[in-house]
């Protein structure tokens, strides 16, 4: 289990850890398809209820929501955090990391609104 909530080179976070990470940074969580429903993007509160039954259904794949420059920036932040000779970069890495997650959350919610709009239009047709 990861001991911190910083960006690392691994972008897939499973189960309860994904929920905690999403709550901290204002992100949504993904749910694998199961007999009760299709794969979906959900709020952490809904994910917590699902994870009580089966935590393996819930995940957060950060790479799925990064744009190419964001993924490179995340790798650079992970590198800065692993080096002890660049302590002066730590405050900058923290600020950039916060912005990355903010933008990621906005992308997730925009995607979710698009999906919901598509379903509404399809149902009305």
Per-residue pLDDT of the chain (125 residues; tens, 9 = 90+): 444 444 444 678 999 999 999 999 999 999 998 777 677 889 999 999 999 999 999 999 887 777 777 777 777 777 777 776 777 877 888 888 888 888 888 989 898 888 888 888 888 87
- Residue 93: which of 68, 101, 105 has the closest Cα? 101
Q: Where are the domains of the chain?
A: 12-124
Long-range contacts of 82-86 (CB under 8 A, 24+ apart): none
């Amino acid at each position: 289990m990861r001991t911190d909530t910083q960006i690392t080179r691994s972008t897939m976070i499973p189960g309860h850890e994904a929920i905690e990470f999403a709550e901290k940074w204002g992100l949504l969580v993904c749910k694998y398809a199961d007999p009760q429903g299709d794969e979906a993007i959900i709020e952490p509160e809904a994910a917590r209820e699902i994870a009580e039954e089966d935590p393996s259904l819930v995940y957060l794949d950060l790479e799925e929501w990064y744009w190419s420059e964001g993924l490179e920036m995340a790798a650079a932040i992970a590198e800065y955090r692993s080096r002890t000779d660049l302590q002066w970069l730590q405050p900058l890495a923290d600020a950039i990391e916060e912005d990355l997650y903010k933008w990621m959350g906005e992308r997730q919610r925009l995607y979710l609104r698009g999906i919901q709009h598509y379903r509404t239009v399809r149902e009305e047709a």
